[in-house]
Amino acid sequence: MEENEIGYIVRARNTVQATVLVVSNRPYEQCHLSQFFATTVNRFLIDNGVLDIHTDRIVGMVVDTGCAYFSSIAFPDTVHAGLRVAKLGNSSGRYELALYRNNDERPAAAGHFVQV
């Protein structure tokens, strides 16, 4: 995953895609975007053989998360999530994410997710 000149995570070929559900909408017709962070990170871990939600006995805990919002996403939009592993330690990982609405070039939100 690369950054462009203004520091946003650039959408890559390997993004996670999800559809905003009607129940995800909050008052004022916008969706709480940080809900997609855990889904994106877990999908990445599953796809890369690091996590098996059916057989693993270890559960990752989220100890820090942050999100900056730039624009709204609401039903029936599609969210595309770009992800990069910013830091990988012995027992924790910091992931940085950018969430895109439909085919927008600029992210609707960007943030981080730390799991131990």
Asked, for residue 75, whether it belongs to a domain, the answer is yes
At residue 115 the predicted structure's pLDDT band, cuts being 50, 70 and 90, is very high
Q: How far, in Å, are 37, 41, 45, 48, 101 from residue 97 at the CA level? A: 7, 9, 14, 17, 13
Domain CATH code at residue 63: 3.10.129.10
Whether 113 contacts 65, CB under 8 Å: yes
Give the separation between CA 66 and CA 23, rounded to whole angstroms. Answer: 22
Asked, for residue 58, whether it belongs to a domain, the answer is yes
Per-residue model confidence as pLDDT tens digits over 88-103: 999 999 999 988 888 8
Amino acid at 103: N
Asked, for residue 87, whether it belongs to a domain, the answer is yes
- 115 beta partners: 62, 93
Asked, for residue 54, whether it belongs to a domain, the answer is yes
The two structure tokens encoding residue 15: 């993004």
Number of domains in the chain: 1
Per-residue model confidence as pLDDT tens digits over 19-72: 555 445 555 445 566 677 888 888 888 888 888 989 998 888 999 999 898 988
The pLDDT of residue 7 is: 42
Domain that holds residue 46: 16-115
Is the pLDDT confidence value at 83 over 50?
A: yes
Whether 98 contacts 8, CB under 8 Å: yes
